[in-house]
């Protein structure tokens, strides 16, 4: 029943697709499917979103966007008669979110968000004058003990969404592990494997790596391909490799995802730190 997940999981409304429902209304309206969907985003993506004219839909890159979801820290809270203005920061940009309130209502729940807390915000992108902001339909303060988990979950959702828009959805088992690139020009040649499956080629025959995720396998493959030194490989070099082969443009997202994957590999004993916590070697 949560408005943040819509019952469909993955942060999207239950329309049968992460891109929303494509069906029209009984009256024949063909409202774009994206207007029904919830897209996880960073604040930087919102700051760089474009609009052809004041009545046109907002676009992130080439994709139209309807409702958006962000996870961010609250820098300030400004309560006014008709709305509450939250200044948000997610590490990529600062951005305002406004939640409108009924001045005649006794409901104070919309005024309880405190500064320095983390929140999950659901709303739509608006502009008044030359100022952009999120018109928030729901704001939920995140419990301190779950902030790290929700941040990483949101970052992973953002990165996954970007990959889906760039390459199409991940392959089904019946498709032989080949990713469909819905944006690629058909050249008549067979599609090649991508970052979804690249790691499986060189680690598939090693049972020690059978349970690794594609990102973890990609990291291990890269580390194994490098000359072995006592110093190890710096996390920045690993993040650059993931960025160059994975196609996700936001450096902050890549760095965070790589660090999380390395932490999990270290917890499972596949890698270990060397001269400091930023240098790693594969356990062999």
Terminal Cα distance for the chain, rounded: 47
Task: Please report which confidence band the pLDDT of residue 250 belongs to, taking 50, 70 and 90 as the band edges.
Answer: low
Q: pLDDT (tens digit, 9 = 90+) per residue, 179-212?
A: 444 444 443 433 344 444 333 345 545 667 777 8
Residue 264: per-residue pLDDT = 86
Q: pLDDT (tens digit, 9 = 90+) per residue, 106-160?
A: 555 455 788 989 999 999 998 887 789 999 999 999 999 999 889 988 998 898 8
Residue 108: per-residue pLDDT = 52
The structure tokens listed for 207 are 């049972």
pLDDT over 80 (residue 163): yes
Residue pointed to by tokens 């110093």: 231
The structure tokens listed for 166 are 């760039």
Residue 271: per-residue pLDDT = 87
Residue 182: per-residue pLDDT = 45
Nearest of 239, 240, 280 to residue 258 by alpha carbon = 239
Find out if CATH 2.170.190.11 is the number for domain 34-104+111-167: no
Intrachain domains 34-104+111-167 and 214-282 with the same fold: no
| C-alpha distance from residue 209 to each of 193, 199, 202, 227, 260 (Å) | 19, 10, 10, 20, 17
Residue 255: per-residue pLDDT = 72
Nearest of 131, 41, 46, 50 to residue 85 by alpha carbon = 131
Q: What is the C-alpha separation between 43 and 24, in angstroms, rounded?
A: 31
pTM of the entire structure?
A: 0.53
Q: pLDDT (tens digit, 9 = 90+) per residue, 204-235?
A: 456 677 778 888 888 888 888 888 788 888 88
pLDDT over 50 (residue 19): no
Residue 226: per-residue pLDDT = 85
Q: What are the residue ranges spanned by the domains of the chain?
A: 34-104+111-167, 214-282
Helix axes 235-246, 214-225, angle to 10 degrees: 120
Q: pLDDT (tens digit, 9 = 90+) per residue, 45-80?
A: 999 999 888 888 889 988 888 889 999 999 999 998
Beta bridge partners of 86: 77, 97
Residue 251: per-residue pLDDT = 63
Residue pointed to by tokens 């063909």: 30
From the options 3.40.50.150, 1.10.10.10, 3.90.470.10, 1.10.132.20, give the CATH code of 214-282: 1.10.10.10
């Amino acid at each position: 029943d949560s408005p943040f997940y819509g019952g469909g999981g993955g942060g999207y409304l239950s329309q049968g697709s992460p891109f929303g429902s494509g069906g029209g209304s009984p009256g024949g309206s063909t409202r774009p499917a994206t207007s029904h969907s919830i897209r996880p985003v960073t604040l930087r993506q919102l700051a760089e979103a474009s609009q052809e004219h004041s009545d046109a839909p907002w676009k992130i890159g080439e994709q139209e966007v309807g409702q958006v979801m962000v996870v961010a820290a609250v820098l300030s809270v400004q309560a006014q008669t008709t709305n509450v203005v939250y200044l948000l920061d997610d590490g990529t940009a600062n951005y305002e979110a406004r939640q409108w309130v009924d001045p005649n209502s006794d409901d104070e729940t919309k005024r309880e968000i405190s500064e320095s807390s983390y929140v999950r915000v659901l709303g739509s992108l608006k502009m008044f004058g030359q100022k952009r902001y999120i018109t928030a339909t729901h704001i939920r303060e995140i419990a301190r003990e779950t902030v790290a988990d929700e941040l990483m979950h949101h970052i992973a959702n953002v990165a996954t969404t970007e990959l889906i828009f760039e390459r199409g959805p991940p392959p089904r088992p019946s498709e032989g592990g080949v990713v469909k690139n819905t944006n690629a020009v058909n050249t008549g040649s067979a599609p090649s494997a991508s970052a979804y499956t690249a790691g499986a080629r060189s680690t598939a025959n090693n049972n020690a790596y059978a349970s690794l995720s594609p990102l973890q396998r990609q990291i291990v493959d890269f580390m194994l391909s490098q000359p072995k030194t006592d110093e190890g490989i710096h996390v920045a070099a690993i993040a650059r490799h993931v960025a160059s082969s994975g196609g996700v443009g936001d450096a902050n997202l890549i760095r965070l995802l790589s660090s999380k994957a390395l932490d999990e590999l270290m917890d499972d004993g596949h890698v270990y730190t060397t001269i400091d916590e930023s240098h790693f070697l594969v356990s062999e």
